[in-house]
A and B are shown apart, each in its own frame.
Chain A
Amino acid sequence: MATIRYILRDAFRLLFRHWGLTILTWVTMMAVFLAVGGSFLLTSCAHAVVAKLAGDLTIEAYIAKEFDLEALKPKIEAIPHVKEVTLVTPESALARLKELLGEQAQVVELLGENPLPPSLVLQVDDASNADVVAQTLRSLSEIEDVVYAREAANRLARLNAVIRQLTIGIIAVAIMIGILILFNTVRIAVYSRREELAVMLKVGATPTYVAMPFLLQGVILGGLGGISATLILTRAYTVFVKHINRLLPFLMVPEGGPEIFIQLVLLLVGGGMALGWICSWIATSRHIRDALRPL
């Protein structure tokens, strides 16, 4: 218990002794985590919007009249990547057509017999799989024709991939910057106390006891950066979504809530603390090992 108290005291001494560096690192870490968290939110939004658009993207499969629609449904549902299958009987298709035509619906009456074939409306799990599902449908003898927005599906799939790659790139660069900053801050702290560390080791301090204040310093700095970025991003996201949904309501960007906040806390605060620990460990362990290694 006493050891924990000494370690905590020393960690805060480190933070306050180099207060200028502490503030600089805190602000820089916050900027890094703003980039990471911003990219994360951007991806989440983009995925939600693309998922919404992809959800609206359907494949319509027209069935030859001699086949039973109900009997065909399980076979279609078994096709990989098919998420949902809705049956459209000729009657319901006609009713929908009349609804679309409005006042001109009586034109349909002139046709006499219902000319519309039975069909199935399919939703796929991902826009990029629409092509595969359509090809499978075309290969079935029961299917007469397949209609879907092929170009839109491909564009959505490409957009999704680009956003994912961009986000991974931004997060990777931001994390590398974060590692360098934290590593250097702790290394400066270790260097400024190298004499003290050597004496501590000479009088019987364990490597863990010597290293712990530096590890805590890294954890606190990483955590502080993560907390600040989380608070800023949570507020900024709420404002951003409100504006976007007012200007472009069809996008229906998901609103910020506890779920987003928890995800940001886990990613930024948890990630920041873990990053701080790892950087500090790298910065201190080598110094301590060298100081303890016998000549």
Chain B
Amino acid sequence: MEIRVSGVSKIFKPDIVALEDIYITVRPGEFLYLVGPTGSGKSTLLRLITGEARPTRGQITVGPFNLRKMRWGAISYYRRYVGVVFQDFKLLPHLTAYENVAFALEAMGLPPKEIRVKTGEALDRLGLWRRRFLHPPQLSGGEQQRLAIARAVVKSPSLLIADEPTGNLDANTAEGIMDILLSINASGTTVIMATHNQYIVDTYRARVVELRMGRMTRDEEKGRYGSYGYN
């Protein structure tokens, strides 16, 4: 799915400018890093793309969906095409690993047999099949993040949004997560990943968009974390 962010500004009441005049086009199947210091507007931009927030000015279209004009009741249908991985995982502690992944499909009303197959495949792909009966608190940080990714990709989304997915993980585990995200991207899913991890950005080179104080300061193909300048 192509994502077009055209002249988007987001101002929180009373007058806090979170984003100002952002233009980004993400091609289908592209991998994009969103970098910038804390408070630069990365999470706000991701929220605008997931439909959790609405732009004050400008337009955001994701494939056929115009998020500016979308009625709040239709957001649920849009989110079925978008997988989201949160920094704090947002797993449900009283459900097992298997149930955490399966309930994303249940919410879409898929039949039980299809859910069993797809959940099994997703857990297997993320190396969690043998951990399927454990609850999130019984899993390590890396396993929890993999479980969150499994839940995001089990519905085969066209777009995967990851907000600092390696933020709480050690270097080795972060690399493992990156390998998974790249393999998901290689299968055709567009991936947008907000990160503070310089090593990851510099090692797994892809397009980098940098935000500072709510403004886009860099958009660079195969960019680096610390590079500056606006292309």
Contacts and interface: CB of A to CB of B under 8 A. Distances in A.
Interface string B84-127: 10000010100000000001101111111001000000000000
A3 B103 CA distance: 11
Interface stretch (B75-83, B180-188, B194-202): B75-83
A201 B52 CA distance: 10
A289 B73 CA distance: 9
Interface string A1-13: 1110110000000
A293 interface: yes
A294 B90 contact: no
A202 B79 contact: yes
A199 B51 contact: no
B224 interface: no
B24 interface: no
A1 B111 CA distance: 8
Contact of B72 (A195, A203, A209, A292): A292
Contact of B75 (A3, A196, A209, A292): A292
A2 B84 CA distance: 24
B110 A295 contact: no
A294 B79 contact: no
Contacts of B77: 204, 206
Contact of B90 (A3, A199, A204): A199
Contacts of B106: 2-3, 6
A203 B84 contact: yes
A203 B12 contact: no
Contacts, number: 72
Contacts of A202: 50, 52, 79, 84, 90
A6 B77 CA distance: 18
B139 interface: no
B42 interface: no
B108 A204 contact: yes
A2 B73 contact: no
Nearest to B106: A6
Nearest to A13: B94
Nearest to A199: B90
Interface in A159-208: 195-196, 198-207
A195 B84 contact: no
Given A2-B110, A2-B112, A295-B12, A207 B52 contact: no
A294 B104 CA distance: 21
Contact of A203 (B51, B52, B79): B79
B42 to A, nearest CB: 15
A292 to B, nearest CB: 5
B218 interface: no
Interface residues of A, number: 24
B90 to A, nearest CB: 5
Interface residues of B, number: 31
B189 to A, nearest CB: 15
Interface in A200-233: 200-207, 209-210
B44 to A, nearest CB: 8
B155 interface: yes
Nearest to A17: B94
Contacts of A2: 106, 109-112, 115
Contacts of B52: 202, 294-295
A292 B72 CA distance: 7
Contact of B80 (A1, A6, A204): A204
A284 to B, nearest CB: 15
B56 to A, nearest CB: 10
Given A202-B50, A202-B79, A204-B80, A196 B104 contact: no
A15 to B, nearest CB: 15
B171 interface: no
Given A199-B90, A204-B76, A206-B77, 7 more contacts: A3-B106, A200-B103, A204-B82, A204-B155, A294-B54, A294-B75, A295-B54
The 4 closest A-B pairs by CB, nearest first: A205-B107, A295-B53, A204-B80, A294-B54
Interface of B: 12, 47, 50-54, 72-73, 75-77, 79-80, 82, 84, 90, 92, 103-104, 106-112, 115, 151-152, 155
Interface of A: 1-3, 5-6, 195-196, 198-207, 209-210, 289, 292-295
7 contacts: A6-B109, A198-B90, A202-B79, A203-B104, A204-B76, A207-B73, A209-B109
